[in-house]
Structures are given as structure tokens and as C-alpha cells.
Amino acid sequence: MAEIKDIEVIKTTKSRFDPALLENPGFGVLFSDHMCSMDFSGGRWAAPKIVPFAKIEVSPALTVLHYGQAIFEGLKAFRTKDGRVNIFRPEKYHERMLRSCARLCIPPVDYNDFISGLETLLKTDSVWVPSKRGQALYIRPFIFATDEYLGVKVSDTYKFLIITSPVGAYYKEGINPVRLTTPGEYVRAVKGGLGSAKTPANYAASLLPAEEAKKKGFTQVLWLDAIEKKYVEEVGTMNMFFHIGDELATPSLEGSVLPGVTRDSVIHIAKDWGLKVVERKISIDEVFAASNKGILKEAFGTGTAAVISPVGEICHDNACVTINNGQTGPLSRKLYDYITGMQYGDEPDRYGWVHTING
């Protein structure tokens, strides 16, 4: 059980809050009034504090700007019908953050500091948690190296910030199916590289292929493994699931795929629903063959931002398959309803995943 610490709160004198902002918040464009801030120097993290959301002044020689020593997380808070605020699986996101920290040589942040800072931030900015179904307060914790130095080395100092942003759906399609394409010669990550860490470099690597895909009318890129360019890995903003015959299959985590928290939730839930859930290699040829045989029932992506995002079409090497007639399938819909039901407090929290903020 985490011990929630007393945290210093320095409040803004000028709130930017206006209920009209929550009408149609988009994704990641609005920011709440405060942020949680904590600095690392002299071999230790100082206590977290809540300060007004504001620009930060940095040196042009900041190591993160040159060599990218940084990690981030993304989780969400939800407003329940009775007005409480639920955070979904904060321990699991913190656990992943520690693994990303280890890979990027960043000192770990203690769970008590993480959850105390986050709870205090959410209490301070409670009005920013939207109450409409389909909306949430997206929480972005991140850590970056702050030494001023141009040599390549592990930084001695860091800043940890948590900012929050009221959001609606991540994709313009919402729960409607997205279109994916494999990325030709590009790769996202190799085993032993950074692919399983939540670090900006992976997202930087995805920008050019994603731009090219968007120009061709696709929503996102479906990454294949970097060696054989044969096995499905992930979508960058989400993990992938395929309902083939009686099996719900998802690519196994072999070092180059991000271990998604929504992926983990879907695996638990689908198993409890009696589905045969398998983590294994899935080749793009198998996906096309399953479609041709008529046994590819559904494909969907999972992610914190994307939640459950049905995939209506996949294109690869000048050929395309349409999945479930380009419609949202029953399993995607059921998972979306169940997971969001738990998050908004309408479904019982049978896994102990919901962290309710009291007070």
C-alpha cells in the first residue's frame, strides 16, 4: 500500500480553466493549471511539488536536447458518475516507467513519490477531469537529463514532470476502424535496442514513415520486425491483436515491442471471458492468409490513448485486406465497453486496477 505524502502546492494566481474547453478537447492540446515537478541532483531525488503549469527555461547545452536521454509514460484519470476521480492501473505504469528508466540509465522514481505527486496534482486540478463519456484527463509523466554538457555520457541531473491534458479520442476515427499500412523499408526497433522502453527516440523514428503513410490515406504504420520484415510488432501508438479462428493472438514481447498496459489488461480480460489468448509470432502473411480463408474475424489495437481501436484495413506490398467489412467488430466493442466501464466506475473493479482518489 502506497503512503501518500504531504506535498507542497504552489497554486497559480490565474487559472485558465473554462468549462467550455472541455466541450471538445481534442488530444494533447490543452493543459491543466498545474504540474508536478521533482529534480534529481547529488545522487537523490528531491521531494515532488506542485507548481503552476509554465514554460521551463533550459540551457541550449542540455544533454537531452542532443542525445535524447529521456523517458515518458501515459496514463489516464476518469470522472465517475458520482464525481470521483479514478486512475487506471498506476502501479503498472510506474513499473513500466522503472524499466524504461533502467534502459536509459535514469535514476528510478519511488512509487510513493510518483503516486503522491500524481494524486496531489489531480486534487489540485480536479476541475480539469472531464465528465463526458469518451473523455479523460491524460497524464504524462516524463523524465529528462538536465546536465549542461556536450560529451556523450549519463547525466548527473534530471527533471521529472507530470503534466495533464483533458482529451477525447486519440484518432479522428474514434472507435471507428483505422487503416494501417506496413512501412516498406523502414523499421521501428531492433531487439536489444530501445523498442520496449517508452522513450522519445522510438517516436522520432516513426515520424517519417507515419507522414508517408498519412499522405497515402492511412491512419498509422503497422511495424514489422526489423530483421526479416515478416512478423507484426506493433503500431507505435498501440499494440496489436488479431482474432483468428478461435484464437485471440497478439505479438509476443521479445524486446522490440512496447509492453502496453492496455495490452496486458486485454489479455487478462479475454482469458477470463474464456477466449484462447496467445502471445506468439504473427507473420503478416498469416494475417493475409487468414483473411483469404475467411477466419480473420477482427483486428484491433490497444493503447492508453487509443483504448481499443478496431482496424478495418491492412495494406502490405501493394495488397490490402479488409477486416470485418471495415466495421467495428463485436469483440472490439465488448472490450472497449468493458474496459471503459471499469475506468469510469460503472463496472466492478474485479482486478483491483482502479485507484480512486479520495477527498
Footprint of ligand COI on this chain (CB under 6 A)?
74, 237, 303-305
**For ligand COI, which residue has the nearest CB?**
74
Which among 71, 21, 54 is positioned nearest to 163, based on CA atoms? 54
| DSSP for 107-170, written as a single string | PPPPHHHHHHHHHHHHHHTGGGS--STT-EEEEEEEEEE--B--S-S--S-EEEEEEEEEE--S
Nearer to ligand COI, 31 or 45 (CB): 31
Shorter beta-carbon distance to ligand COI: residue 7 or 129: 129
Nearer to ligand COI, 7 or 78 (CB): 78
H or E element at residue 44: strand 44-45
The CB-of-52 to ligand COI minimum distance in angstroms stands at 24
d(CA 283, CA 1): 42
CB of residue 140 to ligand COI, shortest distance in Å? 8
Contact 114, 161 (CB under 8 A): no
Shorter beta-carbon distance to ligand COI: residue 64 or 305? 305
Report the nearest approach of ligand COI to the CB of residue 46 (Å).
27
User: Residue 74 or 90: which CB sits closer to ligand COI?
Assistant: 74
Strand, helix or coil at 76? strand
- N residues, the chain: 359
From the CB of 84, what's the least distance to ligand COI, in Å? 22
Closest separation in Å from C-beta 303 to ligand COI: 4
In terms of CB distance, is 74 or 195 closer to ligand COI?
A: 74
Most distant pair of Cα atoms in the chain: their distance:
63
Say if residue 270 is exposed, middle or buried (CB neighbours under 10 Å; 0-12, 13-18, 19+): buried
